[in-house]
Structure 1
Amino acid sequence: MTFEWPLALVGLIVLPVLIALYVWRERRRTDYAARFTTPGLLPNIVDASPHWRRHLPLAVLLIALAAMVVGVARPHAMMSVKREEATAILVIDTSLSMSADDVKPTRLEAARREARAFLDQLPSKYRLAIVGFAGRAYVALPPTDDRDLAVSALRNLHTAEGTSLGDAVALATRIAGRQRASDGTNPPAAIIVISDGAQFTGRTSPAAAALRARQAHIPVYSVLVGTPNGVITVPLSGGLKAAMRVPTSPDRGCPVGALVPEGAVKGTLALAVLLGAVALGPGTSPALATNECRGLQICVKVAGPWVVVPARLSAPRSQVDYQLSCPRGFVAGGLDAELSDRAIDLAFFGLLGSPVGPGTTTTRSVVFRGVYTGSPPRTPTFRPHLGCIPVAGGGTGPVPYRKLQALPPGQPTIRRVRTVRLHAGSTRATAACAAGERLLSGWHAIGFYTAAPPSAAVVQSVRATRSSSGNRVEVRVNAGAAVNGVRAIVQVGAVCGGGS
């Protein structure tokens, strides 16, 4: 046991001092009583002596004082508690052959579906990482217990040329080796490989990767996806296309099955048998309608609600702002949106910087601004999308023409944003500037989390008024009964001065 404030224990010195004073007082009281009484007459005057009971109040007081002093010193003890921890690493083939449709709808979609089924069965206390590989191996998702991020990472896997199977298993082995449990030891780990065949590119052979995993005591499970009848379409020069057979067979080069090490399988991750089918069954997957993650190998998609755009016809046209944010540790790497009306002019705010790229001209949050440019009165809406990446770009370089008295662009404004769920009736939402800041302007937006653009009846059932007072922006919303069947929100924002 240790103490956060050990000097407080000096107060325990008071206890023996109090005991000494009490003993001295008791002796003095006895001597004082003997001067004015006859000892032989005391039995006739006092029925019984309290003996030890008269010392009880002092004992209780001393115990309370001791407990108080020890409590002020704040004692604490470090105890090691055994915790079940493990890491599962999904290694998924994204080579061009995974686009074959011999397993409906495609081999890759079937692999995604079964990976999600495995994810649903994986205990929440276990972490999951995802490694994709085609011409090179890459980390699609670092180890995390956030299942929503895992689903997004699976959805963002796309096919490319090459099959670097050995590199992917070697990368997964390194990821597993870097994990640490709460007691500092390496937690159990397992690698699940989903592929349709052999290696054609890469620096590490599957046999060498399997040996490294065995030496690290990490079991590797393999799942063969597809049938011998797989066919893909390959574009040729001149606009021609060719059909190429990509049969799944363990005889193609180095089979995936060679990765399975000998020895016992760790029971903590035996759920991998859920993926043990030779050919994964049929299924469907929704089409990707937006392109915020196009060209990004590691990307997490974030979708906002359908934001209502004011449709006033008078000039100047009214506008609406909505702020959408990436998860913590990510920055915006791509943007897109869905519109219910082509007459919506949509833009976003970016920062000044060079080069133009994630982490330099974008941050974790992006403000979308919509203006309706059409003529007939409607209920236009848009849904913003962000593609979030876990890296920051940008660079620096000399600026020979910058003068000493000039200042580089900064962020003099700060946006304070609050989002509130709407229900039928009246709702009030406020956003305020912090101490030392001053309110410059405010905005609000009404949004609906629906699969399709909300109907005019739902949009028109919500009325909002905004007001400003001091450093605070307030929005009062009156919503009709139509919002009870949908998830409706109001976002209120305050643009504050006082940044750097």
Structure 2
Amino acid sequence: MDWEHMSFLHPWFFGLLLLIPVIIWWQYRKKSHDHPSIRLTTVTSVKGVKPGWKVMLRPAMFWLRILSFICLIIALARPQSSSVSESIDSEGIDIVMSIDVSGSMLAEDLQPNRISAAKKVAEDFVTSRPSDRIGLVIFAGESFTQVPITIDHNVLKEQLRAIKSGVLEDGTAIGMGLATGVDRLRASKAKSRVLILLTDGVNNTGLIDPMTALEIAKRYKIRVYTIGIGSKGQAPYPVQTPFGTSKQMMPVQIDEALLKKIATQTGGKYYRATSNSSLKSVYNEIDKLEKTKIEVSSY
């Protein structure tokens, strides 16, 4: 019970507690003036006789009646909790994160590599949006829904940590990553539907062309934020050799023109993330742009 926020509906009943001293005084006065007695010529016959248990419990019964009287007064006063309750009315936003997991995401221009950095900031982003339903799509040469749109963010974050490069056919199917994310959102009843697409490459495969996926996103009024991840120029990439893993410098190729077009035509924005800190800043900015409307009522 929360005693700190306890209140009483009828507190005036506590005035009856003033009767308790009067009752105690009356009981002891009655006891002192009402002593039945028997005159005996000798006490030999009653010496050593102990009083019965009823006699011994008689004082305790009086105090139990007093305690019962106090409990009755408290009950009449109607104790109740006055703790504050909140009713939250959330407009909510449905979000899908579509993350590139192609082999090039293992490049180490972000620490420890691109895919690990992307997973970390995506998890932080999920934590910062407790009222939104969020889903996860991964893509490489094909695309896959890792987590449908859900409010269970613990499951979502577990699946985020589990994604890795190499689980899908290699390649960069930006059109597939976009189309699968749009498909997850098109049936959503949320007032705002957002897709965050992160990639480090150029569309080079896939059954759906990026322009076709863009038209579908526009048709369903889904806002797309695109992120190009990777340093400019060249980046160290781990290569397996007979002697172990070595680092090889590989050119960074991101189709920024395509990503800008997708973002602009859907009402979103394109970002370039060349480091861990800039990637985090990108997600922080998206978090500020896409605010959830929440109304709180207290009573």
For 1:231 and 1:88, how far apart are their aligned partners in 2? 32
Q: What is the percent sequence identity of the aligned residues?
A: 23
Matched with 1:135 is: 141
Aligned mate of 1:162, from 165, 171, 184: 171
The answer to whether the 8 A contact 1:97-1:246 is kept is: no
Q: Any stretches of 5+ residues in structure 2 without a counterpart?
A: 1-88, 279-299
Equivalent residue for 1:218, pick from 207, 219, 222: 222
- Structure 2 SS opposite 1:197: coil
SS of the residue corresponding to residue 227 of structure 1 reads coil
Question: Which residue of structure 2 lines up, in the alignment, with residue 258 of structure 1?
Answer: 261
> Which residue of the other structure, out of 103, 106, 118, is the alignment partner of 1:111?
118
Letter of the aligned partner of 1:278 in structure 2?
A: A
Q: Which amino acid aligns with 1:154?
A: L
Q: Paired residue for 2:92? A: 85
CA distance 1:117–1:205, change in 2 (3 Å):
same
> Which residue of 2 is the match for residue 177 of structure 1?
186
- CA distance in structure 2 between the aligned counterparts of 1:191 and 1:264, rounded to whole angstroms: 11
Contact 1:225–1:248, Cα closer than 8 Å, also in 2? no
Q: 1:198 to 1:234 in 2, by over 3 A?
A: same
Shift of 1:117: 2.2
Cα pair 1:111 1:280 within 8 Å, conserved: no
Which residue pairs with 2:274 in the alignment? 279
Question: Is contact 1:137-1:168 (8 Å) kept?
Answer: yes
Q: 1:261 & 1:214 partners in 2: Cα distance?
A: 11
Deviation at 1:150, TM superposition (A): 1.4
Q: Does 1:243 align with 2:270?
A: no
* Alpha-carbon distance change, 130 to 237 in structure 1, aligned in 2, over 3 angstroms: same
1:278 and 1:130, CA in 2 relative to 1: closer, same or farther beyond 3 A?
same
Amino acid at match of 2:179: A
Higher RCO, 1 or 2 (CA under 8 Å, sep at least 6)?
A: 2
Contact 1:90/1:193 (CA < 8 Å) preserved in 2? yes
CA contact (8 A) 1:135 1:163 kept: yes
SS at match of 2:123: helix
Deviation per CA, 1:382-427: give whole Å up to 9, x if none. Answer: xxxxxxxxxxxxxxxxxxxxxxxxxxxxxxxxxxxxxxxxxxxxxx
Question: C-alpha displacement at 1:173, in angstroms?
Answer: 0.6
3-state SS of paired residue (1:141): strand
Q: 1:165–1:277: structure 2 CA closer, same or farther, 3 Å change rule? A: closer
Higher helix share: 2
Q: Please list every run of 5 or more consecutive structure 1 residues that lacks an aligned counterpart in the other structure.
A: 1-81, 181-185, 266-272, 284-500
Cα shift readout 1:218-255 (whole Å, capped 9, x = no counterpart): 0110111110221323446898978351414436xx64
Q: Check conservation: 2:224, 2:267, Cα contact below 8 A.
A: no
- In structure 2, the CA distance between the partners of 1:101 and 1:239, relative to structure 1 (3 Å rule), is closer
What SS does structure 1 have at the residue aligned with 2:265?
Answer: coil
Q: Which of 192, 202, 208 is equivalent to 2:206? A: 202
Map of 2:72 onto structure 1: none
Give the distance between the partners of 2:245 and 2:228, measured in 1 at CA. 31
For 1:230, the aligned partner's letter is A
1:148, CA displacement in angstroms? 1.0
Question: What is the CA distance between 1:166 and its match in structure 2?
Answer: 0.6
Relative to the length of structure 1, the TM-score reads: 0.34
Amino acid aligned to 2:210: P
Displacement of 1:85 in angstroms is 3.0
Contact 1:101/1:107, CA 8 A, preserved across alignment = yes
Alignment partners' CA distance in 2, 1:282 and 1:104: 10
Deviates more, 1:226-235 or 1:254-263: 254-263
- Cα-Cα RMSD: 3.0
User: Secondary structure of 2:112's match?
Assistant: coil
Offset at 1:256?
2.7
Q: How far, CA to CA, are the matches of 2:147 and 2:122 in structure 1?
A: 14
State which structure, 1 or 2, has the greater radius of gyration over its C-alpha atoms. Answer: 2
The alpha-carbon distance between structure 1 residues 188 and 247, as it changes in their structure 2 partners (threshold 3 A), is same
Which position in structure 2 is the counterpart of 1:121? 128
Q: Distance between the aligned counterparts of 2:226 and 2:245, measured in 1?
A: 36
C-alpha deviation, 1:214, in angstroms: 1.0
How many Å apart are 1:127 and its aligned residue? 0.1
Question: Does the 8 Å contact 1:87/1:143 carry over to 2?
Answer: yes
2:231 corresponds in structure 1 to 227
**Cα gap change, 1:175 to 1:238, in 2 (>3 Å):** same
Give the letter for the 1:114 counterpart.
V
Count of residues in correspondence between the two structures = 187
- Output the CA distance in 2 between the equivalents of 1:104 and 1:125: 30
What per-residue deviation string (whole Å, max 9, x for no partner) do you get for residues 105-130 of structure 1? 101111112112211222x2210000
